[in-house]
């Protein structure tokens, strides 16, 4: 049986090398189960339009169910790869014809690979979007759980900007800042899933619809779409949902990469804030003492690769007219590659993050170093009526003096600053715990605010878990 779904108007066989060049069979084998689902819905559309009879529909359904089983046990992939198929869709069509005989030749009636691929890709996106949302939710939940532990332990550290000591914060506050992006990531993944449920392209045929009376509503319902697509030309070239999921995947991996960068720095002796457990750290083939945070470095590299791949997917798309062009095969492969790699990368990030142990004593001991209390002194002056610029200058001079004498800010500095400002006295936090506790604004690092953030995140994560159930 011919491996091609076309050829009647050609007089010579196609160049085998060029067919191989154009083949996406191995790349899109992940789509095989979804193509079967799509084909079963097309059988329903054919039967609903009276194009095939009940016996033919039953034979096609049975053949497709048999192919589904062969896909699950690996037999289909092995057999398909031995032949010169252009894609997984043609391979499944050929296998159905082998199983069902002449009846199998009805499967592709009223259907083009254009609407078939577009629909199959949406089914894949819906599946992977839910998996990705669950992964993001799990990462966020893990950080939230650790934040509760660290809030109870009252672990402090010097928060940084520009990698320089800035202000004391709770470690729990930092962990929640790590959780927040993954709550947003889960929301973006679910939004991509919703986009992939809106319109069913099946029945759009090549670009103009079909003269056959396909029951498109029946196919859309069978595949759990909201409705058939409105415009056939748009439907066959639309890759929005796949690109939305790819974009959400890139964003999530980039968020993970940023946290990895923090953990890589924290694991270095200069910080010494964290130790990566034996199950996640790696050694050197030469230097016996090495303990490397390789998983976090690899996440960082995968994020960079994902950005490049996503740019390539958009770059491929931007030069195409609003119809089907073969370039979309490359966009499809790029999007699938981004999505699959992101799932693996996020899982590795979750596992490696769970192996991190915090050195609470070192973090807390260094929380006030680097003059992290300077802003508290300036705020205290402002609260007493000193302008922000004047307060900044007064405290800056106090820091410079203390730094020249190699000592921290102390009560004497507080008194001198007050005198310089024309005040008889001034009260401001002189330890990191008091600094953290003094924060008043919603969303701040104070224990009460962090507790409120924890409770709110718990509610959001519970809602996400219910949406994914």
Q: Which CATH class is domain 114-212+224-365?
A: mainly alpha
Q: CA 171 → CA 176, 262, 302, 349, 436, distances in Å?
A: 9, 13, 27, 19, 11
**Who wins on pLDDT, 155 or 7?**
155
The answer to whether residue 141 scores a pLDDT higher than 70 is yes
Q: What is the mean pLDDT of the chain?
A: 95
For residues 234-259, average pLDDT: 98
pLDDT of the residue at 13: 72
pLDDT of the residue at 449: 98
- Please tell me the CATH code under which domain 373-431 is placed: 1.10.40.30
pLDDT of the residue at 19: 67
Q: Choose among 36, 40, 106, 101: nearest CA to 69.
A: 36
pLDDT of the residue at 21: 73
Q: Which CATH number fits domain 16-109: 3.30.1950.10, 1.10.275.10, 3.10.20.30, 3.30.750.210?
A: 1.10.275.10
Residues 6 or more apart whose Cβ sits within 8 Å of residue 407 = none
The answer to whether residue 4 scores a pLDDT higher than 90 is no
pLDDT tens readout for residues 81-124: 878 787 899 999 999 999 999 999 999 999 999 999 999 999 99
pLDDT of the residue at 17: 74
Partnered with residue 200 across adjacent β-strands are 228
For residues 26-55, average pLDDT: 96
Helix H, strand E, coil C: the string for the chain is CCCCCCCCCCCCCCCHHHHHHHCCCCCCHHHHHHHHHHHHHHHHHHHHCCCCCHHHHHHHHHHHHHHHHHHHHCHHHHHHHHCCCCCHHHHHHHHHHHHHHHHHHHCCCCCCHHHHHHHHHHHHHHHHHHHHHHHHHHHHHHHHHHHHHHHHHCCEEEEEECCEEEEEEEHHHHHHHHHHHHHHHHHHHHHHHHHHHHEECCCCCCCCCCCCCCCHHHHHHHCCCCEECCCHHHHHHCCHHHHHHHHHHHHHHHHHHHHHHHHHHHHCCCCCCEEECCCCCECCCCCCCCCECHHHHHHHHHHHHHHHHHHHHHHHHHCCCCCCCCHHHHHHHHHHHHHHHHHHHHHHHHHHHHCEEECHHHHHHCCCCCCCCHHHHHHHHHHCCCCHHHHHHHHHHHHHHHHHCCCCCCHHHHHHHHHHCCCCCCCCCCCHHHHHHCCCCCCCCCHHHHHHHHHHHHHHHHHHHHHHC
Q: Give the percent of the chain with pLDDT over 70.
A: 97
For residues 333-343, average pLDDT: 97
pLDDT tens readout for residues 413-437: 999 999 999 999 999 999 999 999 9
The answer to whether residue 468 scores a pLDDT higher than 50 is yes
At 1, is the pLDDT very low, low, confident or very high (cuts 50, 70, 90)? very low
- Domain parsing of the chain, residue ranges: 16-109, 114-212+224-365, 373-431
The answer to whether residue 269 scores a pLDDT higher than 90 is yes
pTM of the full predicted structure?
Answer: 0.94
For residues 356-385, average pLDDT: 97
């Amino acid at each position: 049986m011919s491996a091609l779904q076309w050829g009647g108007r050609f007089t010579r066989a196609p160049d085998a090398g060029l067919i191989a060049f154009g083949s996406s069979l191995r790349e899109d084998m992940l789509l095989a189960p979804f193509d079967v689902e799509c084909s079963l819905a097309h059988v329903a559309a054919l039967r609903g339009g009276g194009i095939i009879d009940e016996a033919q529909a039953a034979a096609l359904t049975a053949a497709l169910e048999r192919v589904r089983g062969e896909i699950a046990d690996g037999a289909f992939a092995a057999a398909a790869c031995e032949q010169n198929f252009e894609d997984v869709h043609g391979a499944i069509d050929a296998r159905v014809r082998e199983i069902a005989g002449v009846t199998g030749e009805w499967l592709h009636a009223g259907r083009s690979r254009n609407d078939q691929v577009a629909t199959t890709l949406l089914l894949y996106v819906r599946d992977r979007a839910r998996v990705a949302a669950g992964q993001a939710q799990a990462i966020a939940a893990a950080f939230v759980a650790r934040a509760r532990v660290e809030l109870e332990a009252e672990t402090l550290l010097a928060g940084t900007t520009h990698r320089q000591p800035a202000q004391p914060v709770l470690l729990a506050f930092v962990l929640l800042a790590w959780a927040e992006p993954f709550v947003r990531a889960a929301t973006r993944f679910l939004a991509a899933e919703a986009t992939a449920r809106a319109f069913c392209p099946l029945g759009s045929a090549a670009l103009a619809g079909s003269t056959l009376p396909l029951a498109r509503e029946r196919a859309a319902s069978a595949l759990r779409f909201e409705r058939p697509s409105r415009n056939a030309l748009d439907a066959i070239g639309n890759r929005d949902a796949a690109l939305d999921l790819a974009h959400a995947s890139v964003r999530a991996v980039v968020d993970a990469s940023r946290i990895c960068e923090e953990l890589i720095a924290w694991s270095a002796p200069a910080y010494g804030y964290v130790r990566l457990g034996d199950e996640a750290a790696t050694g050197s083939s030469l230097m016996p003492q090495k303990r490397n945070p390789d998983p976090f470095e690899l996440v960082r590299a995968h994020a960079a690769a994902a950005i490049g791949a996503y740019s390539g997917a958009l770059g491929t798309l931007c030069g195409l007219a609003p119809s089907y062009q073969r370039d979309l095969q490359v966009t499809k492969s790029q999007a699938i590659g981004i999505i699959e790699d992101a799932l693996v990368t996020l899982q590795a990030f979750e596992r490696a993050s769970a192996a991190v142990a915090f050195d609470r004593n070192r973090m807390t001991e260094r929380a006030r170093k680097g003059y992290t209390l300077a802003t508290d002194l300036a705020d205290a002056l402002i609260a007493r009526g000193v302008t922000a610029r004047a307060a900044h200058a007064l405290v800056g001079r106090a820091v410079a003096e203390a730094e020249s004498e190699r000592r921290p800010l102390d009560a004497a500095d507080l008194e001198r600053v007050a005198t310089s400002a024309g005040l008889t006295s001034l009260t401001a936090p002189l330890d990191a715990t008091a600094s953290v506790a003094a924060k008043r604004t919603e969303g701040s690092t104070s224990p009460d605010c962090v507790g409120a953030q924890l409770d709110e995140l718990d509610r959001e994560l519970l809602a996400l878990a219910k949406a994914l159930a």
